[in-house]
Structure 1
Amino acid sequence: MSEVKLNQTKVVRELKPTLGAIHLWGIAVGLVISGDYFGWSYGWASAGTLGFLIAVAVIALMYVTFIFSYTELTTSIPHAGGPFAYGLRAFGPTGGYFAGMATLIEFVFAPPAISLAIGAYLNVQFPALDPKVAAVGAYIVFMTLNILGMRIAANFELFVTILAIGELLVFMGVVAPQFSMANFTANGWAGGEALNGTAWMGILASIPFAIWFFLAIEGVAMAAEETKDPRRTVPKAYICAILTLVALALGVMFFAGGVGDWRQLANLNDPLPQAMKAVVGHNSGWLHMLVWLGLFGLIASFHGIIMGYSRQIFALSRAGYMPSYFSKVNHRFSTPHRAVILGGIVGIIAIFSDSLIVIGGQPLTANIITMSVFGALLMYIIAMLSLLKLRRTEPNLERPFTAPLYPIFPWISLSIAVGALLAMAWFNTVVFIIFLAILALGYVYFRLTASQRAAAPVDEMLGQKAE
C-alpha cells in the first residue's frame, strides 16, 4: 500500500541545541557504564573467564566497527529519531518502523532492570525499604530531571558518569596488588581446561552479557537535534566514548577475575564489591565507598536511557508512527515530557510484573536484559544496512564524517550482529518468540495507521517523498 503525504507542513525543530562534545561523551559513557557494575559476570558462569574474554573481544570488535560506521549516519542525518530516521530514509516507512520499534524495545526494556538493581542496592543499605518502591522512586526522580531541561539533565549525566568512572579506577587500583593472572586463567574454559565444543557453546551463550558491557551507546544519536554543531561534536564524543568503554570493560574483567577464585563472583549482581572484599576485608572504608559510589554507575545509565527512550518516542510520534500526543514538547523546558512519562509508565508496569510473569523458568527481570539486547541487535543490523544502502542511493548526501575502511567496517559489524542475533535466538527461544510477537503486534498497528503518517508534517531530513 503506497503512502501519500497529505499534509505538506514542514517539521519545526522544537528541541533546543544546547549540548557540546563533552556532554555527548558523558551521555555515551553514562548510558553504558552500569554494565561494568553488574550483569556481565553472568558471562563467566556461561563461558568461564577465558571463554567470556573471547566473547567480549568479538563483541568489542562489533561495537568499535559499528560506532565508526554509525557516526557517519549520525552526522549526515542529525535527527532525534536516530536509527528510526536512518531506516526510514534508506528503506522507507517499513524500514523506519522496524528500526524504530527495535530501538524502542532496547531503550524501554533496559531501565526497569537497572531501576530494580538500584532498588535492590538501596534495600541492602536500608532493609525496611521495599526494592520495588525504591525502583519506582528512581523513575519519578529521573523522569522529573529529564523533563526539567536537556542541559540540566546532560550536566547531571556528565557529573555522575565521571564519578562512576572514578570509582571503577579506584576499584582497579585497590585490588591491583592482589592481582594474579594465574587466578584469572584458572578453570578459564566452560566445561574443562580446553577450548572444546562445550567451551564454544558457553561462549555463544555468554553473548548477551558481553553486549551488556556496551549496550545503548548508540543512544547519543537521539540527542543529535539538541547538539551544537553535531557534525563535529558527535564524532569526537562517539570515538572517545567507545575507547573509554572498551578500556573500562577489560580493566574491570581482569582485575575482578584475578584477585581470587572468580567462580565465587560468576552468579552475583555485585561482583566488584565482592572482589574488593576479598582484598581489603569486610570493614574497610574502601569497600563501603565502592558500595555507595557504585550506585552512581547505575544512576548514570538509568538517567541516560530515559533520555534516549523519550527522544525515540518523540521522533516516532512526530513522524506519525505513534499517536501525535506524544510528540508535544513542554513549552517551558523544551523537552518531550509526554514521551518521558509514557516510557516510565511501561517501565513501572514491568517492575510490578516481576513476580507475576515467568519466562523460561526465570522471573521477568532475569529476561529483561536479553529482550533489550534483541532490540539492540536488530537495530544494529538495520543501521548498517541503511549505511550501505544510502552510500548507493544517495552518493551526494553530505557526509561530514565517513566510515573508515568502508565497506569493511560496516560489514564486520553487520556480520557479527547477525551471528549474535542467531546465537541468542537459539539459547533464548522463548524470549525471542515474545520479541517477534511484539514486533508483529506493532506492525499491525503500523499497517492500520497509514493515514496518521500521511497527516504528519513533512520532515525533509528524513528524505520522505510522496509514493
Structure 2
Amino acid sequence: MKSESTTQHKGAVTHHELKQTLGTWQLWGIAVGLVISGEYFGWSYGWASAGTLGFVITALFIAAMYTTFIFSFTELTTSIPHAGGPFAYARHAFGPTGGYIAGAATLVEFVFAPPAIALAIGAYLHVQFPGLEPKHAAMGAYLVFMALNIVGVQIAAAFELCVTLLAIFELLVFMGVVSPGFQWSNFAKGGWAGSDTFSMGSFHGMFAAIPFAIWFFLAIEGVAMAAEEAKNPKRSIPIAYVTGILTLVVLAIGVMVFAGAAGDWTKLSNINDPLPQAMKFIVGENSGWMHMLVWLGLFGLVASFHGIILGYSRQIFALARAGYLPEWLSKVHPRFKTPHRAILAGGVVGIAAIYSDELIQFGGQTLTANIVTMSVFGAIVMYIISMLSLFKLRRTDPNMERPFRAPLFPYFPAFALVAAVISLATMIYFNLLVALVFAAFIALGYGYFLMTRHQREVAPADALLEE
C-alpha cells in the first residue's frame, strides 16, 4: 500500500514541474523589475501625510529594513529553493499552520499589488489618450501580460530584463531633465508634514507614511518564487538579491529628491503619475521630454506588473500543489510548462479589484492607496514570519545546507524583524479598516485551511520540503 501511494505521488510530481531556465541577469531583472514601479508612483502618497523631509526619514528607515531583510531572506531562499518562497520556509519551520499564514499573506501581497500598478498604467496612458478610461486600460494590461506569462518563463524573463533596463534608463533621464530646476528650498518647504519646522506632530505623519515607503521596495522577495526555475539558485539568487536591493535604494532616493525639488511637491502628493507632473514644472506640458517620460515611464510600470504576475502565479501554484488551494490550480500548461491556471486565477481577482470602487475606496483614501495598503499588510506579515522562520531553522535545523548565510547574524534579521513589527503596528493604527479587511481575508482562508486537511494529505510529494 505504501509503495502504491509513493508511486502515485511520484507520478503526480511530474505533472507539477517547472523548467529551470533562469540565469543571474534574468533573476536580477526580475528582482529590480518587480519593484521598480514603486519609483514611478505610489510613494508620493507618503508626502501627503509626512511631508518631504519627514518622508525621507521614513524611507531611510524602511530602506534599512529591506536591506537587512534581503540579506537575511537570501539565506532561506538558497537553503530552500522552492516556488512557494516564504510559504515553504514557514512550513519547514512551523509546520502546516505556519505555511498557511506565510502563504496567505504572500498571496494577498502579490495579488493586490498588480491592480494598483495596472491602475497607474491606465493613468499614464490617460495622459496621452484623454478619451481612454484608465480602468479599461488596466484590464487590457492584465490580458496582455497574463498571456505573455503563459507563453513561457524564458520569454517572460527576457522581456522583464529588457523593460527593467529601459525603466532604469528612463529614471536616470528623468533626474537629468529636471536637474536644471533643482532647488532644495522647493523640497524642504513644508517638509515636516506641511510645516517648515519639526514638531512632535511630524512623528504622526512619518509613521502614517510607512506603507508608501514600503511601496518603494515591495515585492523584491518575489525572486524567491522563481527559485525552482533558476539554473543555479544557490549562486545566482544571492547575487540578484544583493545587487537588486542596492540598485533600488539608489534609484528611490534619487527619484524622490529630484521630483520634490523640481517645484511645488504638494501637487504631486496624491496622484498616480508624479514623475510626468514633476517634469511639467521644468519643461512645460507640451515638451517632447514630457511625452517621452510618459511613454518610457510605462516600462517601469510594465516591468513590475509583469514580474508580479509571475510571482503571484508561482505562489498560487505552490500553494495548490501542496494542497492549500484547489489542486487544479497547480496544473502546468502541457506545451509551455507554465502555471497557466494560477496566472488566470490571480488575474480574475485583480481585475475584480480594479472595478470595485465602492468596496475598496473607503477610509478617506483613494482606490489605489487602499489597494497599496492591503498589499503592504500582506508583505509585512510575510516578512515577520520569514524572519521568525530563519531564527527557528537556525536552532532546530543547524545542519541544513546554507549556501548563503545571513551576515551579522543575529543582528540583521533581528533589525528586520523589529522594523517589520513596528511597521505592522503603525499600519494597523493608521489603517484600521484596511487591517480589518486583511484580517477577514486571513480568517476566511484559515477556515478553508481547516476544512481541507485531507487535500494536503493526498497532495503530491514535495521533495524540497521532505525532512
Fold match (TM-score > 0.5): yes
**Equivalent runs, 1:7-406 vs 2, <5 Å:** 7-8=5-6, 9-10=9-10, 11-12=13-14, 14-355=17-358, 357-362=360-365, 364-406=367-409
**CA displacement, residues 108-151 of structure 1 (integer Å, 9 cap, x when unaligned):** 01111111221222223223322222111111100000000000
**Structure 1 residues 177-232: Cα deviation after superposition (integer angstroms, max 9, x where no partner):** 22122322222111533332210000000001100000000000000000011000
Q: Which amino acid aligns with 2:323?
A: G
Residues 160 and 300 in structure 1, CA contact (< 8 A), matched pair in contact too: yes
The 3 A distance-change label for structure 1 pair 191 and 260 is closer
- Tell me the CA shift for residue 7 of structure 1: 4.6
Tell whether the 8 Å contact from 1:86 to 1:383 is kept in structure 2 after alignment: yes
Corresponding residue for residue 431 of structure 1: 434
Distance 1:457 1:245 in 2: 38
Q: Give me the whole-angstrom Cα distance separating, in 2, the residues matched to 1:184 and 1:35.
A: 20
Give the Cα–Cα distance (whole angstroms) in 2 for the partners of residues 269 and 399 of structure 1. 42
Cα shift at 1:411: 0.3
Shift, 1:342, TM fit: 0.4
Query: Alignment partner of 1:33: what SS?
Result: helix
Instruction: State the secondary structure of the residue aligned to 2:123.
Output: helix
Which shifted more, 128-137 or 168-177? 128-137
- Does the aligned pair in 2 maintain the 1:7–1:457 contact within 8 Å? no
Q: Distance between the aligned counterparts of 1:132 and 1:274, measured in 2?
A: 20
Cα distance, 1:356–1:88 mapped onto 2, change above 3 Å: closer
CA distance in 1, matches of 2:107, 2:445: 11
Cα separation, 1, equivalents of 2:32 and 2:233: 17
Q: Which among 421, 438, 442 is matched to residue 418 of structure 1?
A: 421
Q: Return the offset for 1:275.
A: 1.5
Kindly report structure 1 stretches of 4+ aligned residues shifted beyond 6 Å. Answer: none
In 2: Cα distance, 1:76 partner to 1:116 partner: 36
Secondary structure at the aligned position of 1:90 is classed as helix
Residue 222 of structure 1 aligns with an amino acid whose one-letter code is M
Q: Tell me which amino acid in the other structure corresponds to 1:159.
A: C
Q: Is the 8 A contact 1:355 1:363 kept in 2?
A: no
Please, what TM-score do these two structures have when normalized by structure 1? 0.96
Distance 2:179 2:366 in 1: 36
Q: Give the residue type in structure 2 aligned to 1:308.
A: G
Please state if 1:408 is matched with 2:411.
Answer: yes
Confirm or deny: 8 A CA contact 2:112 2:374 kept in the other structure. yes
Q: Deviations over 1:348-400 (max 9, x none)?
A: 11122124554224454431000000000000000000000000011010000
More displaced, 252-261 or 155-164? Answer: 252-261
Distance in 1 (alpha carbons) for counterparts of 2:273 and 2:377: 24
The normalised TM-score by structure 2 is 0.96
- Closer, same or farther in 2 for the Cα pair 1:42/1:209, shift >3 Å? same
Q: Kindly tell me the number of residue pairs found equivalent between the two proteins.
A: 461
- Do structure 1's residue 449 and structure 2's residue 448 form an aligned pair? no
Secondary structure at 2:357's aligned position in 1?
coil
122 and 377 in structure 1: CA distance in 2 versus 1, 3 angstrom threshold: same
Q: Deviation string for 1:232-282 (max 9, x for gaps)?
A: 000000000000000000000111111222222222222111221111222
Q: RMSD in angstroms over aligned alpha carbons?
A: 1.6
Partner of 1:459: 462
Identify unmatched segments of 5+ residues in structure 2. none
- Could you tell me how far 1:19 is from its partner in structure 2? 0.5
8 Å contact 2:91–2:98 — kept in the other structure?
yes
- Between the aligned partners of 2:360 and 2:108, the Cα distance in structure 1 is 18
Change in 2 beyond 3 A, CA 1:357/1:414? closer
Do the aligned partners of residues 356 and 187 (structure 1) sit closer, same or farther apart at CA in structure 2, a change above 3 Å counting? closer
Distance in 1 separating the partners of 2:349 and 2:267: 35
Q: 2:188, 2:196 within 8 Å by CA — same for their partners in 1?
A: no
Q: Which amino acid aligns with 1:452?
A: Q
Amino acid corresponding to residue 409 of structure 1 in structure 2: F
Q: Which moved more, 1:144-153 or 1:284-293?
A: 284-293
- Determine what percentage of the aligned residue pairs are the same residue: 68
Q: State the Cα distance separating 1:320 from its structure 2 match.
A: 0.5
User: Aligned equivalents of 2:249 and 2:365: distance in 1?
Assistant: 30
Which one has a larger percent helix, Structure 1 or Structure 2? 2
CA contact (8 A) 1:7 1:456 kept: no
Aligned partners of 1:193, 1:362: CA distance in 2, in Å? 25
Runs (5+) with no aligned partner, structure 1: none
What letter is aligned with 1:449? Answer: T
